[in-house]
């Protein structure tokens, strides 16, 4: 056996969890991504999806994808930089820029590729990247590729951020990169605090709106719009795999910055462009977001019901204020056991365990869609209360 194989063969954590009968990953869905899905022939209620507006099986979204395939084929066979730019890419970029309130935008193949390609290339060796300790992994991977000095600050802690800004040379670029809504905790960034510090220390701000668009702001325009601070934020990132019911991502900003990224962002230049179907699906989802405000209204109705329900039963849910609700278990094994028991009871949720979080911060990630009914939510609340009581969490 070669040395590489020998090393990797020693990784047996998943096998041990499988042997215990509590392995919760790669559960194969045999139906569309809806509030109810079929897994191994069994119907379960889906409370683990990021499709916040419930658009993945919307007839207009599906038809837009079909029409795009009929016109353009299944793929672009190249990068945007060379032979892979379609007219629908350009039109979607214009719509996205207008939607988030910026001059221009470019579309990447995935949301991860956006953060990887933007964060890694916009600052230089003598500059600084400042990041929240709970930022998404794609932001972390992006700044790892950068030659800039990286400074981490405590989660949503403006005093900690200011201390890090004070370490920076005044005449160098300082980029603060942060999630608008934190993907596991569900809490909202203190954007007013960040913007105030950015002005004080002449820093720039980039906000990852992956979990904010479709949820917060006017017509779902996101966290920056929610706070009325769009003009104070330099770069706004979004992904298509949540509220846009597709796959891909975008970055929006001023024309000069976007022009630079078009010609220097390696994950954009050297990746195949978005498929016609994915591009058309995102475009159609944006139209629905703008024209069906009742979806966001209902999302918030059931979100508030869920928050009240979990608080009433005594669950620890942290500082969440969104459809992402962390149910803290604070024990790795119990988190796996509860996930298994809930699945057996017909409830799909996601476990978040070490090393993704520290062992004392493990949680069940419960997320809502605009298409969930109040009846479905009530069923989930009953089963979660049973499971949490069974393991002494509440």
For the annotated catalytic residues, the residue numbers are: 183, 211, 242
* DSSP code of residue 18: H
Start-to-end CA distance of the chain, whole Å, equals 49
Residue 77 region by backbone torsions, left for phi larger than 0, else alpha for psi between -120 and 50, else beta: left
| Residue 153 bridge partners (DSSP) | 132
Largest CA distance in the chain: 61
CB 175 within 8 A of CB 126: no
CA distances from 301 to 53, 292, 298, 307, 312 (A): 13, 15, 5, 10, 17
b/e sequence 211-240, b meaning 16+ C-beta within 10 Å? bbbbbbbebbbbbbbbbebbebbbbbbbbb
Tokens found for residue 263: 């010609």
What is the C-alpha to C-alpha distance for residues 388 and 337, in angstroms, rounded to an integer?
10
CA distances from 379 to 186, 384, 391, 393 (A): 22, 9, 19, 19
Altogether, the residues listed in the chain come to a count of: 394
């Amino acid at each position: 056996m070669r040395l590489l194989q020998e090393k990797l063969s020693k990784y047996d954590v998943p096998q041990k969890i499988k042997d215990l009968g509590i392995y919760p990953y790669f559960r194969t869905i045999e139906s569309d991504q809806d509030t109810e899905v079929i897994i191994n022939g069994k119907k379960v209620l889906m409370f683990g999806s990021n499709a916040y507006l419930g658009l993945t099986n919307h007839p207009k979204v599906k038809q837009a994808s079909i029409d795009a395939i009929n016109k353009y084929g299944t793929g672009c066979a190249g990068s945007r930089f060379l032979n892979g730019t379609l007219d629908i890419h350009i039109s979607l970029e214009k719509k996205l820029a207008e939607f988030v309130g910026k001059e221009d935008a470019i579309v990447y193949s995935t949301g991860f590729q956006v953060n990887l390609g933007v964060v890694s290339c916009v600052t230089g060796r003598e500059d600084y990247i400042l990041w929240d300790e709970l930022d998404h992994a794609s932001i972390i991977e992006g700044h790892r590729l950068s030659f800039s000095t990286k400074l981490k600050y405590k989660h949503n802690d403006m005093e900690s951020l200011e201390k890090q800004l004070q370490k920076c040379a005044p005449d160098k670029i300082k980029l603060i990169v942060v999630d608008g809504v934190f993907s596991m905790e569900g809490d909202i960034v203190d954007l007013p605090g960040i913007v105030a510090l950015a002005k004080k220390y002449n820093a720039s701000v980039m906000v990852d709106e992956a979990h904010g668009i479709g949820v917060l702001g006017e017509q779902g325009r996101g966290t920056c719009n929610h706070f009325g601070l769009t003009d104070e934020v330099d770069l706004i990132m979004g992904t298509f795999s949540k509220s846009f019911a597709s796959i891909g991502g975008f970055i929006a900003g001023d024309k000069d910055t976007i022009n630079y990224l078009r010609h220097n962002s390696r994950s954009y230049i050297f990746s195949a462009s978005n498929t016609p179907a994915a591009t058309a699906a995102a475009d159609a989802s944006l139209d629905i977001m703008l024209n069906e405000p009742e979806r966001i209204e209902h999302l918030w109705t059931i979100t508030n019901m869920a928050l009240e329900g979990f608080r009433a039963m005594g669950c620890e849910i942290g500082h969440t204020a969104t459809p992402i609700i962390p149910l803290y278990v604070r024990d790795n094994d119990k988190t796996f056991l509860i996930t298994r028991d809930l699945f057996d009871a017909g409830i799909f949720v996601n476990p978040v365990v070490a090393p993704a979080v520290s062992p004392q911060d493990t949680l069940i990630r419960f997320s809502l869609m605009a298409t969930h009914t109040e009846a479905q939510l009530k069923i989930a609340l009953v089963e979660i209360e049973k499971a949490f009581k069974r393991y002494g969490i509440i």
